[in-house]
Amino acid sequence: MDSSTTLIAVFLGLLEGLTEFIPVSSTGHLLLAGHFLGFDSAGKTFEVVIQLGAVLAILTIYSAKLFDVFRAAPHDPAARRFILSVLIAFLPAVFIGILAHEFIKTVLFETPKLIAVMLILGGFVLLFVDRVAPEPRHHDAMRLPISMALKIGFIQCLAMIPGVSRSGSTIVGALMLGASRRAAAEFSFFLSMPTMAGAFAYDLFKNRDVLDTSAMGEIAIGFVMAFISAVLVVRWLLGYVSRHGYALFGWWRIIVGSVALVALYL
């Protein structure tokens, strides 16, 4: 692994961690950055595997809370309902992800113009929802109704189009269904754990024949960078959106998507 590849792996890892849990589409940013940097991993495995670093960041930050939930589950209905709500929200992504996996990876992931357009459209959606979302009725991410969690799970499936954003779709869905800004972000964090871990496991299985062991070094670097930057972002994000909302991320999407679209046409 030469120095330029190392620098690219560091940059992409940082980019993954910084963008995974904010509603700007980490996959869209990674694919566009990889396109312009001339970086291409076999089966897009690098982009998927380093997301596991971001998942580990969430597990680290919420480890005490999750431990308490699972410890209480045998005798606490509220804890069991929370676990069930996350699992039910995860199920739509399982079925649709498996059915559409080949199309997503071979067509959608290879279309930079689509990614740029979805970044822009998603930015306008985020700006709109941040203004018109109904008065929140649910302020605790661990107490969302089961039916609401299922609806958020279906909305999350829109993020299989790169550029839409997994966190963006779940946050927008939760806001429109009556969650507070903080609860929407936090439920998106919890839902990311099974969703991203499942995507990692399935993608690794599907690409087992094209994995290049020589790329393990750059994947390891990207993984560590994603973990470090994701820890910083998650600790900052909840406080920020509680005070300021999501408009900043909407404008960021529009600017990045527009610049990428112009660059692609040029």
Give the pLDDT band of residue 188 (cuts 50, 70, 90): very high
Query: What would the two tokens of residue 114 be?
Result: 């689509």
For residues 77-96, average pLDDT: 94
Tell me if 54 sits within 8 A of 22, measured CB to CB.
no
Dihedral pair phi/psi, residue 209, rounded to 5°: -85, -15
Q: Which helix (H) or strand (E) holds 215?
A: none
Joined tokens for residue 207: 């690409």
Q: pLDDT value at position 203? A: 75
Indicate if the pLDDT at residue 42 is higher than 60: no
pLDDT tens digits, one per residue of 156-166:
999 888 889 99
Please give the pLDDT value at position 141: 94
Contact between 37 and 55 (Cβ < 8 Å):
no
CA torsion 49→197→33→121, rounded to 10°?
Answer: 170
User: 69-83, 101-115, 206-220: which has the minimum mean pLDDT?
Assistant: 206-220
pLDDT at residue number 214: 63
pLDDT of residue 194: 92
Report the pLDDT value the prediction gives residue 1, as an integer from 0 to 100. Answer: 59
Residue 211 CB: number of other CB atoms within 10 A?
A: 16
pLDDT higher than 80, residue 243: yes
Work out the pLDDT band at 41, boundaries 50, 70, 90: low
CA distance 249 to 257: 12
Is the pLDDT at 75 greater than 90? The verdict is yes
pLDDT tens for each residue of 126-135: 999 999 999 9
Phi, psi (rounded to 5 degrees) for 76: -120, 110
State the residue for tokens 């089961």. 146
Tell me the residue ranges of DSSP E strands in the chain.
none
pLDDT, position 38? 84
Please tell me the least confidently modeled range out of 56-65, 86-95, 195-204: 195-204
Domain residue spans in the chain? 3-265
pLDDT on residue 97: 83
Of the listed ranges 108-117, 125-134, 216-225, the least confidently predicted one is 108-117
pTM for the full predicted model: 0.88
**Average pLDDT, whole number, for the chain?**
88
What mean pLDDT do residues 222-235 have?
92
Residue 90: pLDDT over 60: yes
Supply φ then ψ for residue 179, to 5 degrees.
-85, 150
Pairwise CA distance, residues 191 & 185, whole Å: 10
pLDDT classification of 52: cutoffs 50, 70, 90: confident
